[in-house]
Chains A and B, each alone.
Chain A
Amino acid sequence: MARRVGGDEAVKALVARAVSGDRAAAEAVLRAVELPVWRICRALLPPYEDIEAAVQDVLVKVLKKLRTYRGEGELASWAALVAANHCRDLLRRRRLISFLTFEGGDENEKDFAAVLPSPEPDPERVLRARQGMARLKKVLQQLPARQQQVFSLRFFAQMPLASIAAALDVDEGTVKTHLHRALARVREQVKEAWP
């Protein structure tokens, strides 16, 4: 999921150094957490949003909130949650949660074009698959905040369910419920275009 920074004690020591103002330690922390942050921002924000600016804001937040990290879960999971919350707040502020139009669809389709498992170049199948994957991202942005969070933490940040539960401070059953609902909704919305 993300670059490993060693065992629990090593992570705690690194965080302590970063909190005390050690820039090299802070850089090591960012290296360890930045990939899931990038993925979540890219997944949850619409294509016309400034993804790089959002990632940068999240990384600054991560450094500023680092003293609140208690070392109970993976550092990257904790940062992924910071990213998911940031994206949710950003969209709330800009009133862009409702993503019902298909503007920007072409860009989404390009993003997901590499995903397609298409051994034979059947144009119709490729087109429908592209539409399906583009729709996935749009559907994701229409999910209730908690489902969206759980889905993105699971599939974009590749966090195990237990880590998601710890990060969200809920039990694993709750996470499963949200994930099931999210998957059911996503599949239902996307299947029309699936090959």
Chain B
Amino acid sequence: MKGEHLTPEQWAALLAGEGNAEVSSHVSSCASCRQELTAWREGLAELGRWEPDPWSRTRIREAALDRAFGARRRVWWWAMLPATAGVLAALTLWPSRPAPVAEAELDAVLSQVEATLARDPLATFAGPEVLEVVLGELEGENAGNAS
């Protein structure tokens, strides 16, 4: 701000879009006021340009509709992807060896998992790590039995 060339009332009118000829004349000949006016106009215009991200817009709109109309049953197909992938993986990787052997190994893994969780219930949060350890132990035992 370089000084008060226009009165506060004139500035307010100018920013409201109502400058008169006298004000316009001053602004066009005064670099300082012109610079300030440009900055203010850009700043004020920017206030009306902001937009939330599309995902938030959709989420909040859907939530409002659910509250107003009651939630409807919606199939979140993307939420089911991990489960679907898991089933497919299980079907693909399911051993084609004789069932008794596979079941025995599965029982062994499950009992190891249960034993681990019994010792440390928090281990369940480790998820894959737990299984990796247990399976590793199982493999070691199997190798020992085989030798």
Contacts and interface: CB of A to CB of B under 8 A. Distances in A.
Interface of A: 1, 21, 23, 26-27, 30-31, 34-35, 38-39, 42-43, 52, 55-56, 59-60, 63-64, 112, 114-115, 117, 129, 133, 136, 154-158, 176, 179-181, 183-184, 187-188, 191-192, 194-195
B8 A39 contact: no
A19 to B, nearest CB: 11
Contact of B16 (A30, A158, A183): A183
A155 B16 CA distance: 10
B12 A136 contact: no
B43 A64 contact: no
Interface in B49-102: 50-52, 56-57, 60-61, 63-65, 67-69, 72
A180 B42 CA distance: 18
Contacts of A59: 60-61, 64
Q: Main SS of the interface on chain A?
A: helix
Interface residues of B, number: 34
B61 A27 contact: yes
B8 A188 contact: yes
Closest 4 CB pairs of A and B: A59-B64, A158-B48, A183-B12, A180-B12
A63 B12 CA distance: 36
A35 B15 contact: no
Contact of B69 (A26, A154, A156, A188): A26
Nearest to A187: B11
Contacts of B65: 23, 26-27, 30, 63
A111 to B, nearest CB: 8
Interface string B1-38: 10000001101110110100000000000000000101
A187 B46 contact: no
A187 B40 contact: yes
Nearest to B69: A23
A26 B12 CA distance: 39
Nearest to B45: A155
B15 A30 contact: no
A60 B67 contact: yes
A2 to B, nearest CB: 11
B48 A180 contact: no
A30 B12 contact: no
B44 A155 contact: yes
